[in-house]
Amino acid sequence: MQNDGRLTHVLDPEDKGQDECGVFGVWAPGEDVASLTYFGLYALQHRGQESAGIATSNGKQILIYKDMGLVSQVFNEDHLHPLTGHIAVGHVRYATTGKSHWQNAQPTLGPTPFGTVALGHNGNLINTQALMAKVRDDAGEDLTGELGRGSSTDTAVITALLGAADNYDSLEEAALGILPALKGAFTLVFMDEGTLYAARDPYGFRPLVLGRLSAGWVVASETAALDIIGATFVREIEPGELLIINEAGPRSVRFADATPKGCIFEYVYLARPDTKIAGRGVNASRNEMGRALAREHPVDADIVIATPDSGTPAAIGYAQESGIPYAQGLVKNAYVGRTFIQPTQTMRQLGIRLKLNPMREVIEGKRIVVVDDSIVRGNTQRALVRMLREAGAAEIHVRISSPPVEWPCYFGIDFATRAELIASGLNVDEICQSIGADTLGFISPEGMIAATTIPESKLCTACFSGKYPIPVDHAKVAAGLDPAVEE
């Protein structure tokens, strides 16, 4: 099932890095797998708000429905009811490769020598162009699946590679042959008519977990998606692991050795605060980041406020450590999504005012500490400081629970180009002057890393440090090419 798609973009006033996608899969005979997937995607909505899709299999055929917009905009009972079966794959998308239009919504769907495959992907490949050339060599002009229907995503390329895998005896064998050729970040959830699969890149850039239902199994980007459907967390899917789930239960196969480099920005901003990654609650990490920030950048002030909602856990930590009272100084309009970053600064600033409104009676005449999780371009903080000044704040001290973002991400976060990153051209004092604050303090890399309780050697900090786990060529990106360094 497919439809024409409604292009629904809600203004995004948050000047943040956006994660590409959230993935969900379920194998559960006798259960309403479409509804389970619907609720699972609801829990992952923060990972992508441009499009949503669900594919199901009854063992004989795969049905799919996807559209532009939020999960609640895409699906209703009339859409979910025909999606019958015992296997489902779901996806929410924020674009990092490929334009934001219906053809690039996921799951992708394509034929293979072994049946049909429906696939959802979270991450970003850095050798897509080389892989696309391989598809053309293998499949000729008859490009299989979504790639042949105008999709421009790396996900469609993976689907096409599986579709051209006629030198293998099964989809599992094809996946084991193809996955080692993928460079970059990928967590994949895919299925054919009878089996659910999940795979995580050897670095484990993006989270992926396995959960247990009374009648089956679930895989999802975050543990919060397990919680919402009543599934029990079993374990994380390991970097370099392919998981196969059918009537015999889960079976694990390795396609690469694990070299863990989990994205630290998941702890800073991307993941839900009620999610656990590597056994550590995200909320606890953010709270500790706020405490470390208070120790590193103390200030005399009357109240601590957060930029809601992403800055709230760190702001609470800052208040607890500093002894400065925490107050609600900003009210968030819960009905404004963060689906689409408007292309002009004027629209971004209007969006910030639409989403956040200062409480004058709380902040007027006060010396305020404003805690946020990150600064990317600086537009959010600049507009926020202006609003707080207009509302009568006596002093504004901005504190950021991550270091300056100085480098682009090629592994699944849609940061600005390096030229657009405010910290790539200005030092802290200059950024402070640019946003109009009285003082500005960023947490140290050491403080941020310690808050995760994960060793630095197992984290990717490239957006802060410029140290990429996989070698990249920035000049190739500037020329419109994939960043992968040729071996």
What are the residue numbers of the active site?
Answer: 21
* Tokens read off for 263: 């994205």
Judge whether 271 and 187 are in contact, CB under 8 Å.
no
To the question of whether residue 432 is assigned a binding role by annotation, the answer is: no
To the question of whether residue 465 is assigned a binding role by annotation, the answer is: no
Judge whether 303 and 399 are in contact, CB under 8 Å.
no
**How far is the C-alpha of 189 from the C-alpha of 219, rounded, in Å?**
8
Rg of the chain (C-alpha set): 22
Q: Which residues contact 192 (CB under 8 A, 6 or more apart)?
A: 57, 62, 112, 114, 115, 116, 117, 171
**How far is the C-alpha of 143 from the C-alpha of 176, rounded, in Å?**
21
Report which residue type is found at 302. D
To the question of whether residue 4 is assigned a binding role by annotation, the answer is: no
* Tokens read off for 39: 């609720």
| Binding-site residue set for [4Fe-4S] cluster | 263, 409, 460, 463
| Binding-site residue set | 263, 310, 372-373, 409, 460, 463
